[in-house]
Amino acid sequence: MLYGNENLRSSLIKMANGDRLAQCIFFYGDKGTGKKALSRWFAQLLLCENQNAPCGHCKNCKTIQNDVHPDVVWAEHSGKLGGFSVNTVREICADAFVAPNSGDKKIYIFDDCDKMDIRSQNILLKVIEEPPAFTYFIFTAASVQALLPTILSRLIPFGVSECTEYEALQALDEMGFAKEDAKDAVSCFHGNIGRCKDYIENEKVRQLVALTKEAVRCIIEKREYDLLRVFYNGSTDRNETTAFIGMLEKVFRDALVLRMDQALPCISCDPDGAKLLAGRLSSSRGQHFHKCILNAYASINANVNLQLTLSALCAELMMGR
């Protein structure tokens, strides 16, 4: 079952029923919000054999759900960054002009395009500008900035949002997770089903959440040495360090929001820490924290040593206390 984004799905169904669907679609939103699931659903909408599409029960819907439909191609990721090789993109561009195997449409899905390099995007440009009548493209990424403006101008973008916490609990229950584990996960990642699932299944994610909460307490209590120790433990892997900084950034965001209105909902993994921080946070200090996080992201993207990056972040955060 697909949870959340009812308005988005309703709009796409109306467009399909009115024969007004664009051939190049872009779903963007935070990791874990269901962009891949939505891409499968959209492929089912295009290829479903029944009038009430997508039915989820016909042969096409089932084979798409199981990723074995011959006319639904998931572009293969490659390289350390998980982008798409030039050869892969060229092969897809050539294949896009070959008639479908079993129906009247074929679909190419480029998921997680955040690390897609400029060369690959430029190769795609011509085919998405004038695709064959039977060819559709679906792209997904965390941010609209992932794609070049020339690519974006030829896509129809749709923002994908988290579902409600109630829907997240329903989804996790359907997946077979224990209620207490599901509640714990939702308290950290709210309506982001993908991240909730990762939290339950992945010990490393739970460790990063614990480190984030500990870091927030160190900042509140002005324990610089302990914060440096926490940051050292969070600097073992580039992706994990980025995730750790992202979690910390959301706590700062929540603290600034709660400073204005305590009734507003939190989006971070540490709502309690955000509330404590909000009582000690000025606007200027909140802006300083945001600038520190941006500096850390820039250092990671520039391939600066992770421990040096987090040591600098620790010093900058303490300077603004």
Tell me the pLDDT tens digit for each residue of 125-176: 999 999 999 999 999 999 998 999 999 999 999 999 999 999 999 999 999 9
SS3 205: helix
For domain 6-159, give the CATH number: 3.40.50.300
Say what the alpha-carbon torsion angle 55, 59, 60, 63 is, to the nearest 10 degrees. 110
Look at residue 273 and tell me whether its pLDDT is greater than 80.
yes
**Domain residue spans of the chain:** 6-159, 165-201, 214-319
Cα gap 314→176, rounded to integer Å: 40
pLDDT at position 287: 86
pLDDT tens by residue, 78-115 = 887 788 999 999 999 999 999 999 888 999 999 999 98
pLDDT tens by residue, 200-243 = 999 999 999 999 999 999 999 999 999 999 998 888 888 899 99
Output the average pLDDT for the chain.
92
With pLDDT > 70 as the criterion, what percentage of the chain qualifies?
A: 99
With pLDDT > 90 as the criterion, what percentage of the chain qualifies?
A: 77
pLDDT at position 320: 54
Q: How many helices (H) and strands (E) does the chain have?
A: 15, 5
The reported pTM is 0.85
pLDDT at position 275: 94
Residue 73 DSSP symbol:
E
